[in-house]
Amino acid sequence: MAEVLFHTAEGIIQSLGSLALQEIGLLRGFKDELQQLRNTVSTIQAMLLDAEEQQAQNLAVKDWLQKLKDAMYDADDLLDDFSTQLLRRQVMARDKKMAKEDQGNQGKTG
């Protein structure tokens, strides 16, 4: 289980480091929070390796891993949704800009 969580955490760190998310972070002023979240996920990732060994003998660790797994999947889904919305807005803005340019060009040639 910890190996799956480790890779999920790695995906979250990559998502948090994406260029689009960094741009939004700069625009919205939460760049420091993104870095702090990356650091937290990285720390959790390091702890997972130790927890994997302990879960066989410690039910509390096993329960913690299950709850962490659920939280990591939720975080991953949330970041995917955020990235999708961001890309959708970028495409809509680009399409709107292209439509305006096309209208301007039609007025010049028509």
Residue 108 lies in a domain: no
Number of domains in the chain: 1
Residue 13 lies in a domain: yes
16 close to 79: Cβ distance less than 8 angstroms: yes
Residue 105 lies in a domain: no
**The pLDDT of residue 72 is above 70:** yes
Domain that holds residue 72: 2-82
Neighbouring residues of 12: CB distance < 8 A, sequence distance ≥ 6: 41, 72, 75, 76, 79
What is the distance between the alpha carbons of residues 54 and 50, in angstroms, rounded to a whole number? 7
Query: What does the pLDDT read at residue 26?
Result: 61
93-102 burial by CB neighbour count: b if 16+ within 10 A, else e? eeeeeeeeee
Residue 92 lies in a domain: no
Query: What does the pLDDT read at residue 76?
Result: 80
99 close to 92: Cβ distance less than 8 angstroms: no
Segment 43-60, tens digit of pLDDT: 887 787 788 788 888 898
Residue 87 lies in a domain: no
